[in-house]
Chain A
């Protein structure tokens, strides 16, 4: 577990460096990476479906990134990208490719469909959080107008 914590933190910071994020945002990028991996592991451990676990985790990453982007006054994309990188189904895509090459097409399609669903879950998680935050801002405005 400690190794997983360190792995997600360090690799998210490394991804931040690859994408040239500003220096002051490297640490929050690492935290976003941890939030993008540890909850996922826990949910899968609790026997959640892989796709549902991915959705919930990417939602968490997106909320956290929104908070960070407000605090650090930086575009939200800086925090979401290192955060969701561990969730990207690289392993599944690789398995799909491998089965195609070995001419096991049925197995390949199964893996590919799963990889596709998981990328969709990541995307929906990100978009959903944006919808919710926008709604919250609107409600907040309306309430403060009435006051």
Chain B
């Protein structure tokens, strides 16, 4: 295989992998990879992306490559950066080798916002969601507290335990208990509103939207598996809250 073709292969696969790992829609991943290959001089290529891996091949040479994607997070900044690199390639601004170097930098780069800022914004979002759902201002601080705690436990449990959906279940359990005790101690007033506000940062909104868009774009495998992921996440959150309600309220 020519060295140049190898670079094109590497650039496309790396771009697809970064996008898939950081929360892009599957149809957009395939689209970007095909466009990049075309702009770099490979007329016909085939790409099959799923939430758990990518298969990529060129028509003219008998070689197919597969990358496995095991860990998925949400970092839309990386998706946007890869997007801009693919634009640059399309306009002829950079070559395959430069693209590989830049993509490797993106892959290794740290998240845009530090973890404390994320926790802070999760708790702020929880507080304001109480207001949006017609809650009282007295429940603002309690929702901030339980929402922040819930999001923190989601992040930290996910680092230690690699079982999916366990972190979601456990953090919604924590949210439920915190909210319940705050109401019991008289800090908060309306338990329902506090809980709804605090679980909003955990809700799989991105996965649901992606699943539907993939399904409508004709990517049935990707859409269904993403839908299953979203459903299981929502179910884990719901059962965590259900445990709290059935233990404490009855």
Contacts and interface: CB of A to CB of B under 8 A. Distances in A.
Interface of A: 3-4, 6-8, 10-11, 13-15, 17-23, 25, 37, 73-75, 77-78, 80-81, 84-86, 88, 90-91, 93-95, 97-98, 100-102, 119, 122-123, 126-127, 130
Contacts, number: 147
Contacts of B203: 85, 88, 90
Contacts of A122: 208-209
B125 interface: yes
Contacts of B23: 19, 77
Contact of B24 (A3, A75, A85, A126): A75
Contacts of A18: 74, 118, 121-122, 125, 151, 201
A72 B177 CA distance: 42
A100 B112 CA distance: 40
A22 B112 contact: yes
Contact of B79 (A7, A75, A95, A130): A75
B77 A90 contact: no
Nearest to B246: A101
Q: Please list the 7 inter-chain residue pairs (A to B) with the smallest Cβ-Cβ separation, ordered nearest first.
A: A14-B121, A123-B212, A14-B125, A17-B121, A7-B128, A11-B128, A20-B75
A73 B118 CA distance: 25
28 contacts: A7-B131, A8-B132, A11-B125, A14-B125, A15-B121, A15-B125, A18-B122, A18-B151, A19-B76, A20-B78, A20-B112, A21-B77, A22-B77, A75-B83, A77-B24, A78-B79, A78-B80, A81-B206, A90-B200, A94-B238, A95-B192, A97-B238, A102-B246, A119-B208, A122-B208, A122-B209, A126-B213, A130-B213
Interface string B107-122: 0000111000110011
Interface residues of B, number: 52
Chain B binding site: helix, strand, loop or mixed by DSSP?
helix
A21 B117 CA distance: 13
B116 to A, nearest CB: 11
Interface string B202-232: 0101101110110010000000000000000
A123 B111 contact: no
Nearest to A127: B216
Contacts of A15: 121, 125, 201
A8 B124 CA distance: 11
B38 interface: no
Contacts of B199: 90, 94
Interface of B: 23-25, 28, 74-80, 83-84, 87, 111-113, 117-118, 121-122, 124-125, 128-129, 131-133, 151, 192, 195-196, 199-201, 203, 205-206, 208-210, 212-213, 216, 234, 238-239, 241-242, 245-246, 250
Contacts of A90: 196, 199-200, 203
A11 B216 contact: no
A78 B28 CA distance: 13
Nearest to A9: B128
Contacts of A14: 121-122, 124-125, 128
A17 B80 contact: no
A93 B234 CA distance: 9
Contact of B76 (A11, A78, A95): A78
Nearest to A17: B121
Nearest to B239: A97
Contact of A11 (B111, B124, B206): B124
A88 to B, nearest CB: 5
B195 A94 contact: yes
A6 B131 CA distance: 10
A10 B124 contact: yes
